[in-house]
Structure 1
């Protein structure tokens, strides 16, 4: 292949040379490493962008391992959702090359962390979290619990705004727990006037409180 073929291809297709190199590499991988998937594309049984994702995922595999993936996924490319296809490809790669699958899992674990951006002109920061799936699910559920509690105690902001406020409460676990407990108590005592009045007083007290900042 000519040295500047990728640059010329990118110019013809109106894309960067990097994008053209990915396109060319994935096309070659499909043609020579994943013949069943390639045949499905040519026969109209597989959309190109899905086939390209499969090819990209298999670039680091040996020919023998790629053949296992090719055999497992070729007949299902257009029959399942993109998320299910991604899982199917991952499972096929794990079967075809267990060592690589283990190395990928270890690399993903090392990439976990919590990243915070600089403050913008509105005094807002962004936070990104890469963590174990179970931990993220529990964290998200806790944010939802706090957002619902704030609504029960009279906060009229939108769900996303209340979820953002929940981050402040999570910083003080004791205050967050009290907020949720008061909201739950309030929900169970509305039928009794005296108890409802007491709960409402407690609710206002907790709703006005700010989580304690720890330094």
Structure 2
């Protein structure tokens, strides 16, 4: 994420609105460099890329319908889901900065509801203001995350853990690696701003299907 320089000085120590708008494209598969990303995208250069050897099953051959909407009632989130793939440099795409209030589903991971890690990314804020995940930091264990699919079905996940990590130490295997069943991750930006106006941390929310 990026702010005008005057605001950056005032914002040091302020949490960036939900992991991802600030979160620019993530690291390349199999790397931990974590500093790639477009200056025109969410200003945060967040490493959210898929590591080599830990790919989800994606959409091929699955009977589970693709997700089209995410809602988190506890914090008032209700957003359509755009499809996100990889950039030319193999980093994970994020929603464009002019769509900061829309979250995105990474199509290289699992479809929510099938075995594997399904990943949803959203901006915490953009140059235009709040992003869709601005209040993600307020989510607590046990909160519901609802994913609606293209067939009209809804899958309910319960938050199991929330963590803040340094972008240069992003836990790619934990976020994108194999799982024993269906799991969901929500990713955005968090933490203080550096001298270039980028947040230094990522916020990751982990969730599992409601039982």
Q: TM-score range by the shorter chain?
A: under 0.3
Q: TM-score, normalised by structure 2?
A: 0.22
Pick 1 or 2: higher relative contact order, CA cutoff 8 A, min separation 6.
2
* Structure richer in strand, relative to its length: 2
